[in-house]
Amino acid sequence: MTKFSANLGFLFTELDLPQAIHAAKAAGFDAVECHFPYETPPEQMKAALGETGLRMLGLNTWPGNREAGDFGLAALPDRIPEARAEIARAVEYAAAAGVDAVHVMAGRTDSGTAAEDCFRSNLNHACDLAAKHGINVLIEPINTRDVAGYHLSTTDHAERIVDALARPNLKIMFDCYHMQIMQGDLAKNLERLLPKIGHIQIAAVPDRAEPDHGEVDYRWLLAHIAALGYQGIIGAEYHPKDTTTGGLGWMDDLKNDRC
């Protein structure tokens, strides 16, 4: 049976992080993940995880000045000290709270050589820091419809980086929502990339709501992923149409193959 993680960046957002972890447990999720937990002391997150028995699968590096348009820092050649400080903060937080992985956000760039070299250098640095704590580093291709100019937008690009750096703790975060928009052919791309994937996320396409409608048949796709031998938990990273709890029928349907 497929297991699901609640992405607390989008789900249960009316609650603080420890309360959201408890709400995810009560709702039947098997794990949690988050975006930017830094306002919550890591010991509070760790306590909530211990009380619920849930794993926190991942968190993101701080994206920078979002009001100014930042969506990550790691591929910005003129902001290397800031990017590395945020990578260190993310790894230290993850280690203190017991989080499995850190997603290093690339940011918006001109897609040039300098940006790519910067991204790879910062990823090597992140892998060095994370390896000391047994933490994985994730890179996520993000669609350029939602985030224009994002440096990493295809799985081909992500695969080239993973192959070139050859770091055991560097993995791809495959978000089916983003990749359906950018590339489609999700089944074949997942087949090809599975050994390099560290986490899979889902949401409806094109509205990024509950994964029970739209272009992607998740009943079929999740069964296919399981048949490929994927052992991980599937991340639910979507914007609820109304309340989180009011829209969770999709999870029971997918777990019981009724979608």
**Secondary structure string (H, E, C) spanning the chain:** CCCEEEECCCCCCCCCHHHHHHHHHHHCCCEEECCCCCCCCHHHHHHHHHHHCCEEEEEECCCCCHHHCCCECCCCHHHHHHHHHHHHHHHHHHHHHCEEEEECCECECCCCHHHHHHHHHHHHHHHHHHHCCCCEEEECCCCCCCCCCECCCCHHHHHHHHHHHCCCCEEEEEEHHHHHHHCCCHHHHHHHHHHHEEEEEECCCCCCCCCCCCCCCHHHHHHHHHHCCCCCCEEECCCCCCCCHHHCHHHHHHHCCCC
CA dihedral 73, 76, 79, 80 (to 10 degrees): 90
State yes or no: is 33 an active-site residue. no
Q: Which of 140, 159, 191, 215 is catalytic?
A: 140
Checking phi first, is residue 83 left (phi over 0); if not, alpha (psi -120 to 50) or beta? alpha
Q: Is 140 one of the catalytic residues?
A: yes
Q: Active-site residue among 33, 86, 210, 237?
A: 237
Catalytic site residues? 140, 237
